[in-house]
Structure 1
Amino acid sequence: MMPLDNRRLLRSIVKLTEKPDVRAFELALLATLTEIVSAKTIRLCKIHESAKPPSQKVVVDVRVSDEEPLGDDASLPTLLIDDAAFLECLAKEEKVVASIGLGPGVRIVHPVKAESKMVGFLVIECEADIPRDQELVSIMLGFYKNYVSLLTHTQRDKLTGLLNGTTFDDKLLKIITAQRVGKMRASDGKGLYYLAMLDIDHFKAVNDKFGHLYGDEVLLLFGRVMVDTFRDSDLLFRVGGEEFVVVLRDVDLAQAVAILDRFRLAIERYPFPQIGKLTTSIGATIISGEDLPASIIDRADKALYYGKNNGRNQLWIYENLIAEGKLKVAKDDSSVELF
């Protein structure tokens, strides 16, 4: 490893600030730390947000891309409870040094923070706990805390904390591109991505009757039910008003239906304060690498409004509607006729 001088460190920081989103920044941070710290391996693992008890929360390696199918290696999500060093680090919110089995070297787990809370762990496997190296790591994690907090504000919806519409556009395009380039494994109907549009039924009536403060509370609680109900690997967005989107990752049709209907039922059973019962209509479609983003959104939207026009509180898959003859694709493929 080359001796580190102040100019080199500053150049590294400048390169990091060029990254436009959180994940790109995190990957660049790992690359930078690999250059300036003596280590066998360096991993950044994020804690998935959910209402589960801390020990039951899932930790995901940031190297796992939202745009790729889940793999079968060590980077798969793990439970916090399965890693003693993670649990200790979470409880103490400070560095934990542990041995690596019976072999030489140590495993150092640093707490990673952003927006005044722990969001993950930086895991370093190295020959020894070298103070100089770990001081550099602490400095870079302090920079991470401040910079990620800024980036998060640009990627998240301010009310619900879900990913926002701008981030949705970017993520969807990346998923389509990854499918187009990698061709993925869609031929057997497995390993697919589904996009679902979720709309709160009669939301305007809620605003008109109870006021916008209660309307905002409904949106906030709806988002929380999404976080608590969908899987750790799913991408959750609020794209505007009472419209939400979820991207289901690595599923077949039956799994997509089961996951989405579980959420529909969760909303139906949720006791919204002052308001009582609300429902949601859901329309979903397959994300294909051969499509434009607008086409995918349009298909999901048509499935959504089929449900809203036929009683609400329903889940419809666009491809099923076509197969059942409930919707018909026009010859120019630019519109759909309802039957």
Structure 2
Amino acid sequence: MDSLLKHMVDMTGHRDHTMLDISVISAVQELAGALQTRVLTIVPAKGTQYVRARAIIADGEAARMEDHPDPSYLGEPIAQFPALEACLREHDSSAESVSADGRHTLWLPIWIGDKALTCLEIVRPTAYSPDTVHVIGGIVSVYRNFQNLLDYSERDSLTGLLNRKTFDDQLAKMLHASASDQDAPLPGQPERRQATEEQKQWLAVVDVDHFKAVNDKFGHLYGDEVLILIANLMTSSFRSQDRVFRFGGEEFVVLLRSSTLENAQKIIDRFRTNVEAHVFPQVGTVTVSVGYVAISPYESPVNILGRADQALYYAKSHGRNQACHYDQLVSGGLLAAAASNDTAEFF
């Protein structure tokens, strides 16, 4: 009982989704006597669902965040998890399967209304007793309720993406971490080998092209649907360690963590082409323009945003449906370097 209470206190003390994930898998791993516990993200994309791990703890190891090295990786197709697939289809509270080597896997989707975009996966060598399932179910309920509380304060009500207030906090933390230790791991991650100088953090500003025309021609309900679908495409196109925000209207911002310029370009352009290829109901084709810049810990947030915004303006005024890198525009003589201005307002 003391261990359970300790874990409950730890879980409810966090105000951050990453640390909440680490806390819940640590609690479940110990209390269930599990071999491995994961937090899975259910990613809807390409007409199906994919399963992608975002946090993991294994027997004898520390809990950590989990990210795939390939930026184009969506996850494993849901068809590879037939018990979980049936559970999600039937809106059940749990699913269990036994592997050929006798391991028992329990899946517990986190239902928010009629959607489950997060799932706990617990693997242990023996079957789950009713008492164990009862305790784990209680932890999942606390986890779900706390996720709801965090989402209420951090999320945009229309798209479900992180909001502007949360962006300010996340960018400040990223700048602080970069300034104090360029190679510091994210919360819950193990020590990494030293990153090359080419690995940086990035900020991308996204704007929906001709969005006013969509609202004027089809109405605001279809305009809202476009924003929701673009938010879904952002969630599936960017990596689990990246952070995606809605600033309001048709403007979005992405924080890309620890990526080379080449990978950042690939990730951003993959999202742009995913939007271009998507068929939006009634509306048809929609495109986005993107401006992005490397984040420097020695620049103020307003200057970083301003430079990304300059690159976005260039993209929109030179044909739209493209992603422009601020430094490349400046070095190519296509854009004048922005003067520092700590008092400027953007968006």
Counterparts of 1:80 and 1:59, CA distance in 2: 12
Residues 1:13 and 2:8 aligned together: yes
Q: What amino acid maps onto 2:109 in structure 1?
A: V
- Corresponding residue of 2:55: 61
- Corresponding residue of 2:45: 51
Residues 1:206 and 2:188 aligned together: no
Q: Output the aligned Cα RMSD.
A: 3.5
Residues 1:313 and 2:329 aligned together: no
List aligned pairs for 1:1-339, cutoff 5 A.
4=1, 9=4, 12-33=7-28, 37=31, 39=33, 41-52=35-46, 56-61=50-55, 63-65=63-65, 70=67, 79=76, 86-92=81-87, 93=92, 94-96=94-96, 98=98, 101=101, 106-116=103-113, 117-118=115-116, 119-125=118-124, 129-184=128-183, 187-189=196-198, 191-329=199-337, 333-334=340-341
Deviations 1:166-203 (A, max 9, x none): 232233233333333431356442x3332211111222
Gap change, CA 1:314 and 1:151, over 3 Å in 2: same
Q: Contact 2:83 / 2:97 at 8 angstroms: preserved in 1? A: no
Counterparts of 1:77 and 1:51, CA distance in 2: 8
- Corresponding residue of 2:188: none
Gap change, CA 1:57 and 1:30, over 3 Å in 2: closer
Determine which structure has more spread, i.e. the larger CA radius of gyration: 1
Deviates more, 1:309-318 or 1:193-202: 309-318
Counterparts of 1:215 and 1:71, CA distance in 2: 33
Counterparts of 1:269 and 1:38, CA distance in 2: 45
Deviation at 1:297, TM superposition (A): 1.6
Deviation at 1:304, TM superposition (A): 0.7
Gap change, CA 1:48 and 1:175, over 3 Å in 2: farther
Q: What amino acid maps onto 1:139 in structure 2?
A: G
Deviation at 1:204, TM superposition (A): 2.5
- Secondary structure at the aligned position of 2:45 is classed as coil
Counterparts of 1:131 and 1:329, CA distance in 2: 64
Sequence identity percentage:
35
Contiguous gaps of at least 5 residues in structure 2 = 57-62, 184-193
Q: Contact 1:114 / 1:144 at 8 angstroms: preserved in 2? A: no
Deviates more, 1:247-256 or 1:294-303: 247-256
- How many pairs are equivalent? 317
Q: Contact 2:7 / 2:23 at 8 angstroms: preserved in 1? A: no
Counterparts of 1:169 and 1:228, CA distance in 2: 23
TM-score, with structure 1 as normaliser: 0.77
Contiguous gaps of at least 5 residues in structure 1 = none
